[in-house]
């Protein structure tokens, strides 16, 4: 095997190992998070953890302790204190995403259908043709014009429709644990990031 082919293949073999080794940034104050909890919490009230219901809270992370998570809601005045033991899911926002292709696909189908509907009410004929041929020609022209126009309009609308992108955070990785040592005096502190 020549040196050139080795030089071309080697980066392809190393790239997957490098991308797997990268880790996400740790969770920090001020990040936008979404929390699913088994407790109903409100500002200045004790958490209500009765029942099997789940509540979702979204806001900025203020603090994270071993026993609780403090969250500032977007519309709220105070912080929400959510017990860590009740947290089922924790996600951090990683930006937004547009929906060009979804909008373009919907626009393509809608434009083709609308073009066909408009074409079915008219007649289009370049040379001599029968009434059936004129109606079929008008439908074909309607679809040929409506589909690309719908594709473009739907794509623009879809690109402007943005939704949040969330990354799941392992709850066990964010906890700080303090346990007594049985073999000697003192405690063991377990910090995971």
**What is d(CA 125, CA 36) in angstroms, rounded to the nearest whole number?**
62
What is the spatial distance between Cα 118 and Cα 124, in angstroms, rounded to a whole number? Answer: 12
Per run of 10 residues, the mean pLDDT along the chain (length 193 residues) is: 61 51 63 89 79 87 85 77 88 92 96 92 77 82 94 95 90 55 58 49
Let me know whether 92 and 120 are in one domain.
no
| Number of structural domains the chain divides into | 2
Query: 108 and 75 in one domain?
Result: no
Q: Are residues 79 and 91 in the same domain?
A: yes
Q: Is 1 a member of any domain? A: no
Give the pTM.
0.55
In whole angstroms, give the CA distance from residue 121 to residue 151.
Answer: 23
User: Which residues constitute the domain of residue 72?
Assistant: 26-97+163-191
Shared-domain flag, residues 147 and 109: yes
Would you state the pLDDT for residue 184? Answer: 60
* 21 located within any domain: no
């Amino acid at each position: 095997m020549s040196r050139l082919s080795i030089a071309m293949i080697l980066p392809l073999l190393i790239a997957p190992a490098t991308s797997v080794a990268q880790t996400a940034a740790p969770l920090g104050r001020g990040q936008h998070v979404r929390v699913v909890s088994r407790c109903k919490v409100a500002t200045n009230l004790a958490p209500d953890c009765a029942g099997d219901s789940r509540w979702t809270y979204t806001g900025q992370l203020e603090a994270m302790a071993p026993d609780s998570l403090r969250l500032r809601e977007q519309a709220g005045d105070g912080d929400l204190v959510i017990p860590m033991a009740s947290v089922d899911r924790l996600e951090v926002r990683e930006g937004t995403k547009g929906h060009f292709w979804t909008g373009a696909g919907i626009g393509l189908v809608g434009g083709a259908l609308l073009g066909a509907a408009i074409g079915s009410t008219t007649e289009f004929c370049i040379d001599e043709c029968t009434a059936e041929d004129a109606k079929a020609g008008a439908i074909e022209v309607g679809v040929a014009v409506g589909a690309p126009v719908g594709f473009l309009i739907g794509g623009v609308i879809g690109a402007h429709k943005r939704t949040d992108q969330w990354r799941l955070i392992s709850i066990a990785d964010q906890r700080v644990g303090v346990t007594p040592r049985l073999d000697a005096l003192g405690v063991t502190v377990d910090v995971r990031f």
